Structure 1
């Protein structure tokens, strides 16, 4: 009987612990929305502006999106349409400008069209977030050093608390005065920059840790 009692007690304590952790995670996600920036076909293999690590970043973004959907949390898709002179990707009405199938919007998920790196510029993103009481953003997307960086910094300036899922972002090699800076170094540098000074602009975490509640 003592063994049965001990086993039952242990099971109850384990169940209580799981429920407490789940409740804490849910509380921590109050007033939080997922922002998926420019996960569009042109950034993937076969597209006009393929990024290094686009497939892995897309897979991790999909995992984060599934978490938000399971928990009925708000999701916002940002889609870039290039209207500037000389643009050669994300062109209007092109297949490459479509949101990638891995993260296609569903139901009432908000879709915002932008024309600049900063997702807040000349869009209704700020008004939408304010109207829905959103104070915290979980940010994924592409490219790390352009639209993700610009949007994250702007969000901080507008008073939002940000978390960037580092391995759900991607970029490509850059040229600096004739020298090639590899994508992996660009990625590290920009993620380090937005998380500097104790995560001033954003806390940077990986998808696995975020999903584990860390």
Structure 2
């Protein structure tokens, strides 16, 4: 796999909110370690890193601004010069200026990671693909939680995660692993 010059590492919603017990059991216990490795590699190469933060407008949300859950997790703390995109929907492009900023900086390849796979990661990836960005999603640097379907069946987090990645693979993005990217 060959990444072009200046691929953007787009880290979505990796905030303390995901550690709240209300979310339940998360898949991918290696999320933070893989994110740390990717972030280190991107910074070593001088490649662009964009952080996306969810600022929920819902009362009682673990992502609400001003609460502990709105803070970035320590493993992905932004550094000076790394853009922070603040959003209030699941889509990092909607109402944020992200598309314009990427285009103005000549950035056309996105490597997407973060949470929640079937929520903000999937919504942002679909939009990125539709907007014409060359898009990769890092399977082992994304994570989600279990979910009940409309028939009442419970799906564990790993199943939800893999179904979401299957939705994205091919049409909207190429699914990759941390190891594949670290070989670049």
The range that moved more, 150-159 or 46-55, is 46-55
TM-score (norm 1): 0.81
Higher relative contact order (CA closer than 8 Å, sequence separation 6+) = 2
Confirm or deny: 8 A CA contact 2:90 2:119 kept in the other structure.
Answer: yes
TM-score (norm 2): 0.93
Measured after TM superposition, the shift of residue 132 of structure 1 is 0.7
Structure 2 Cα separation of the partners of residues 139 and 189 of structure 1: 17
Residue in structure 2 matched with residue 88 of structure 1 by the alignment: 61
- From 120, 123, 127, the counterpart of 1:147: 120
Q: Which structure 2 segments of 5+ residues have no match?
A: none
Confirm or deny: 8 A CA contact 1:51 1:170 kept in the other structure.
Answer: no
Residue in structure 2 matched with residue 64 of structure 1 by the alignment: 38
Measured after TM superposition, the shift of residue 54 of structure 1 is 5.6
Residues 93 and 47 of structure 1: CA distance in aligned 2, closer, same or farther (over 3 Å): farther
Q: Which structure has more helix as a fraction of its residues?
A: 1
1:105-116 matched pairs, under 5 angstroms: 105-116=78-89
How many aligned positions are there?
183
Residue in structure 2 matched with residue 133 of structure 1 by the alignment: 106
Measured after TM superposition, the shift of residue 29 of structure 1 is 3.3
SS at match of 2:107: coil
The range that moved more, 86-95 or 141-150, is 86-95
1:171 aligns with 2:144: yes
Alignment RMSD: 1.7
Measured after TM superposition, the shift of residue 55 of structure 1 is 4.1
- Larger radius of gyration, structure 1 or 2? 1
Residue in structure 2 matched with residue 207 of structure 1 by the alignment: 178
1:76 aligns with 2:50: yes
SS at match of 2:137: strand
Residue in structure 2 matched with residue 185 of structure 1 by the alignment: 159
Confirm or deny: 8 A CA contact 2:28 2:140 kept in the other structure.
Answer: no
